[in-house]
């Protein structure tokens, strides 16, 4: 079954819960509601054969309501088709149902989304930070997070002196006139 046929099957089963379908550059995206998403994703796995969860990500549409959007990349090994499922989440209730019971790989994907965006996953077996340290109060991929980062009370955990390889054979020359002269081998 192709992704377009899968989208049509989802529209037939879930009706008005499918709010949009987009075809772009040979990729099919189905947009649904947050309430229908758990059942729809389960149907994708059980009935439509999307047995591989490639990725889970989220998008911050700061300034709009709903602010967040969840994005699930699914793949059918038998059908060799890729389907994207999206659904919105409001800022007030940035929470989605876990799919780690459907696809075990969702465990780490959901932890990353939680860590970077602050979106909670109900029913997740071990929802804790995966990249930032415990107790870190911010979510680095949210749009209000400054590009330069935020100051912290945490003491430096790494050395503050120049890296041991500074100026070494594998380090490019910062400020060199062009890319040829930045190349480490140009110093020989």
Which is more confident, 133 or 175? 133
Sequence-distant contacts of 47-51: CB under 8 A, at least 24 apart: 47/9, 48/1, 48/6, 48/9, 48/10, 48/76, 48/83, 49/1, 49/76, 49/77, 49/78, 49/79, 50/6, 50/74, 50/75, 50/76, 50/83, 51/75, 51/76, 51/77, 51/78
Count the neighbouring beta carbons within 10 Å of the beta carbon of residue 183: 13
Q: Are residues 145 and 162 in the same domain?
A: no
- Which neighbouring-strand residues pair with 20? 31
Of 94, 58, 88, residue with least CA distance to 73? 58
Alpha helices of the chain — where are they, by DSSP H? 3-14, 37-46, 106-117, 179-182
Query: Residues 5-58: pLDDT tens digits?
Result: 999 999 999 999 999 999 999 999 999 999 999 999 999 999 999 999 999 999
Give, as one character, the DSSP assignment of residue 163.
Answer: P
Give, as one character, the DSSP assignment of residue 177.
Answer: S
Which is more confident, 132 or 111? 111
Q: Are residues 181 and 109 in the same domain?
A: no
Q: Are residues 129 and 172 in the same domain?
A: no
Question: What domain range is 130 assigned to?
Answer: 3-150
Q: Are residues 168 and 111 in the same domain?
A: no
Give the pLDDT confidence score for residue 38 in this predicted structure: 97
- Provide the pLDDT confidence category of residue 183 given band limits of 50, 70 and 90: low
Q: How many domains does the structure of the chain reveal?
A: 2
Give the pLDDT confidence score for residue 42 in this predicted structure: 98
Give, as one character, the DSSP assignment of residue 39.
Answer: H
Cis before 66 (ω within 30): yes
Q: Are residues 128 and 178 in the same domain?
A: no
Count the neighbouring beta carbons within 10 Å of the beta carbon of residue 64: 11
Q: Are residues 34 and 127 in the same domain?
A: yes
CA distance 185 to 99: 49
Give the pLDDT confidence score for residue 174 in this predicted structure: 62
Burial grade of 164 (CB within 10 A; 0-12, 13-18, 19 or more): exposed
Q: Are residues 126 and 83 in the same domain?
A: yes
What is the token pair recorded at 31? Answer: 């947009």
Backbone torsion region of residue 15, taken as left when φ is above 0, otherwise alpha when ψ lies between -120 and 50, otherwise beta: left
């Amino acid at each position: 079954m192709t992704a377009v046929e899968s989208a049509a099957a989802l529209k037939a089963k879930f009706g008005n819960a499918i709010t949009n379908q987009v075809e772009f550059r040979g990729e099919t995206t189905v947009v649904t509601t947050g309430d229908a998403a758990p059942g729809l994703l389960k149907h994708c796995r059980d009935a439509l054969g999307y047995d591989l969860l490639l990725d889970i990500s989220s998008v911050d549409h700061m300034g709009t309501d709903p602010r967040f959007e969840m994005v699930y990349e699914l793949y059918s090994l038998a059908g060799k088709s890729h389907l994207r499922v999206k659904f919105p989440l409001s800022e007030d209730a940035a929470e989605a149902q876990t799919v780690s019971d459907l696809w075990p790989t969702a465990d780490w994907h959901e932890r990353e989304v939680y860590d970077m965006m602050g979106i909670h996953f109900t029913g997740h077996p071990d929802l804790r930070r995966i990249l930032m340290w415990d107790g870190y109060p911010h979510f680095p991929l949210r749009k209000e997070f400054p590009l330069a980062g935020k100051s912290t009370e945490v003491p430096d955990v790494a050395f503050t002196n120049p890296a041991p390889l500074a100026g070494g054979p594998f380090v490019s020359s910062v400020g060199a006139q062009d890319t040829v002269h930045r190349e480490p081998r140009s110093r020989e």
